[in-house]
Structure 1
Amino acid sequence: MTETENQKAVSQNPFQTAADKSKAGVRVTVIGMLVNILLTIIKIGAGILGGSAALVADGVHSLSDLLSDFVVIFSIRVSAKPEDESHNFGHKKIESLASVTVGFMLLLAGAMILYEGAGSIYEFIQGIPIEKPAMIAFYVAIISILCKELLYQYTHRIAKKLDSDMIEVNAWHHRTDAFSSVGVAAGIGVAILLGDQWAIIDPIMAVILAFYILYIAVKIIYNSTNDLMDASLSPEINDEIKTIIVDCAGVLNMHSLKTRKLGSSKAIDMHIMVDPDLTVNEAAAIQKEVEKCLKDRFGADTYVIIKIEPFLDRKADREKHISEGL
């Protein structure tokens, strides 16, 4: 790769070390935690004052987000620990385990919203009216939607830069809270504008959004479990890795590429083929260049294992043996 291409690769991945990733991950999670604390207090208080049971329940949902924030911060701290005698590849797998844990918490949150929404619909059908809330509940629900969606966008952007499934899962936890508030705001708004008989919109919206949340939760759990089972990286990333390797000067071919995720880091194992006439030092220099190119692109904490092999034109070698009667 040229110097310009290397600079471009680094700019795509600004968090080059485990320490950088840890600091960024903790920072974005602490911000989310502070917002969740504030929204929990405001939602529950406004729900009680405004007579909105849905908003109180939404406040409890925000409270559940705090639990996932604590899990994420704990996991970030542990994953940043260096390698030791009993963990030769570090502690980054805990990020995948935390993603599964938060995914199940998301699954539980979606199930609770579904249960509450379906219960309200059943009660409404049975003739039990849904209480008409005050405007303060509507305003707080709108504020919650805006805050949590902005928090999702911010956390999602950091998760992509860190390539962290765990932070991405937590981002979706923020968005589920926003979705929950959408249902609450819709029910409150319709009930205030059109009357109590239209308050059924609130639980209907909640049920629809709950199914979407459950879908996201199952997808997160599946992907994180796959990472725990050392599934390979995506075909697109594997193709990019192959391109980076064969573009390095001195690499004539490659094979046996194996990849996997280690939390927010990547592990790359491959065989490269070089000119058989090179000295050991020259072959080692090519090996170091390949490792540098991969770490420039995917981060300094990328695990790179390279085996060097001589590149042989086997067809020409066979023809030579035949012509010499060997």
Structure 2
Amino acid sequence: MKKEERFRQAEFAAIVGIIGNVALAVVKGVAGVLGNSKALLADAVHSASDVAGSLAVWIGLRAAKRPPDEDHPYGHGKAESIAAIIVAVLLFIIGIEIGRSAVLAFFQPLRPPEIIAVYVLVLSILVKEAMFRYKYRLGKKLNSNAIIVNAYEHRSDVFSSIAALIGVGAAIIGGRWKIDWLLYADPVAGLFVSVLVLKMAWDLGKESIHTAIDHVLHEEETEYLRKAVLSFPDVKQIHELHAREHGHYVIVDLKIAVDPFITVEEGHRIGKKVKEKLLTLPRVENVMVHINPYHPEKNT
């Protein structure tokens, strides 16, 4: 897939996330107030945090789209990973706030939520699961860690909405049947939501930091690169092949040996063909090819 098409699809997904999360956050917030549900209000805050997350992904994608420049010769590919880290930090902060709000609710007079909270939570579960599946598949297709991270935000919203639904349902039953202790199910669900959010923030933050740091690909991971290089008859030998992950892209440094009796221009032509070939391979973003003379009696 061409880079332009990749960014177009990724940006569209980010915009879908922004619009969807804004709509859900507003609906949940209003229903949480009208329906007197701490769990639903906590879930609304969770959806609001997803808006910031989708914005961070969109900004990161825009930055990563920029071409290489003097200060960033290998491009801005890490911008997506940095955006993913920002999303994880936002999730962590929101998780703490949700937990604090739920704990405070235990020390306040409780009354059962209204049935509207149940309807909104069911709607939220269906919408968020659909958004997760769409973004997760797209993230895998485009090999975008930021989109995958954002997809799991939607999945965390599904789990938090399920927890909130259980809490709200139990609290409604407690109110109808005069079972006072069941009224605490609503803030308990809010506290459970905060734990889910914090765990998701930890897992996604750890993965995003790993992706943001350059990692050298091992020999077995570069075998497809070696095969592509050696498919050219004019390449007598590969002296060195180093590949590293830069964000979700791969940067290749290559030293190849060619006939020592050809002209410099011919050697340059071979190197250019090898580079063009490697750039057609998945994830390969930048290739540096060094031409060495081939001497069978030497190992380097």
Give the TM-score range, shorter chain. 0.7 to 0.9
User: Is the aligned partner of 1:158 residue 2:141?
Assistant: no
Q: Report the counterpart of residue 42 of structure 1 in structure 2.
A: 27
Check 1:129–1:264 CA distance in 2 against 1; reply closer, same or farther (3 A cut): same
Shift of 1:113: 4.1
State the shift of 1:213 in Å.
Answer: 4.2
Task: Give the structure-1-normalised TM-score.
Answer: 0.76
Q: 280, 283, 288: which is aligned to 1:305?
A: 288
Q: 3-state DSSP class of the match of 1:40? A: helix
Range that drifts further, 103-112 or 220-229: 220-229
Distance in 1 of aligned mates of 2:199 and 2:218: 21
Which 10-residue stretch deviates more, 190-199 or 221-230?
190-199
Task: Give the corresponding residue for 2:224.
Answer: 240
| 172-181 or 140-149: bigger deviation | 172-181
User: Which digits, 9 at most, give the CA deviation of each residue in 1:136-174, with x for residues without a partner?
Assistant: 211211111111121111111222222222222222222
- The aligned residue for residue 82 of structure 1 is 67
Quick check: 1:276–1:311 contact (8 Å CA) kept in 2?
Answer: yes
Does residue 1:176 correspond to 2:176, yes or no? no
CA distance in 2, matches of 1:235, 1:216: 33
Aligned residue for 1:314, secondary structure, equals coil
Alpha-carbon distance in 2 for matches of 1:175, 1:97: 21
Structure 2 runs not aligned, ≥5 long = none
Equivalent of residue 72 in structure 1, options 45, 57, 82: 57
Q: 2:274 aligns with which of 277, 287, 290?
A: 290
Instruction: Name the amino acid aligned to 1:47.
Output: G
Contact 1:191 1:199 in 2 (8 A): yes
Which of 203, 206, 211 does residue 222 from structure 1 map onto? 206
Taking every aligned residue pair, what percent have the same amino acid on both sides? 32
Q: Is the 8 A contact 2:171 2:183 kept in 1?
A: yes
Q: Which among 37, 40, 57 is matched to residue 42 of structure 2?
A: 57
Task: Show the 5 A alignment for 1:272-291.
Answer: 272-276=256-260, 280=264, 283-291=267-275
Deviations 1:178-218 (A, max 9, x none): 22111101212333457554455566666566555444433
Contact 1:29 1:72 in 2 (8 A): yes
Of 20, 23, 48, the match for 2:8:
23
Distance of 2:78 and 2:252 partners within structure 1 = 15
**CA 1:284/1:77 → structure 2, altered by over 3 Å: closer, same or farther?**
same
Amino acid aligned to 2:68: E
Tell whether the 8 Å contact from 2:99 to 2:194 is kept in structure 1 after alignment.
yes
Matched, 1:259 2:243: yes
> Residue by residue, what CA displacement relative to the aligned partner does 1:100-158 show, whole Å, maximum 9, x if unpaired?
211211222333444455666xx3xx8x7854322221121111111112111111122
Give the SS at the match of 2:215: coil
Query: Does structure 2 conserve the Cα–Cα contact (< 8 Å) formed by 1:249 and 1:286?
Result: no
Query: Relative to structure 1, is the Cα distance of residues 275 and 68 closer, same or farther in structure 2, using a 3 angstrom cutoff?
Result: same
Counterpart residue identity of residue 242, structure 2 = K
Structure 2: how far apart are the matches of 1:79 and 1:39? Answer: 28
Q: CA deviation at 1:40?
A: 0.9
- Mean alpha-carbon deviation: is it higher for 136-145 or for 211-220? 211-220
2:243–2:253 contact (8 Å) kept in structure 1: yes
Summarize the Cα distance change of 1:282–1:166 in structure 2 as closer, same or farther, 3 Å threshold: same
Equivalent AA in structure 1 for residue 285 of structure 2: T
Partner of 1:138: 118
Q: Distance in 1 between matches of 2:82 and 2:214?
A: 12
Q: Distance in 1 between matches of 2:267 and 2:151?
A: 44
RMSD over aligned Cα atoms: 3.2
Listed as ranges, the gaps of 5+ residues in structure 1 are 1-13, 318-326
Contact 1:75 1:98 in 2 (8 A): yes
Tell me, what secondary structure is at the counterpart of 1:261? strand
Distance 1:297 1:236 in 2: 16
Equivalent residue runs for 1:196-211 within 5 Å: 197-198=181-182, 210-211=194-195
Q: Which residue identity is paired with 2:78?
A: K
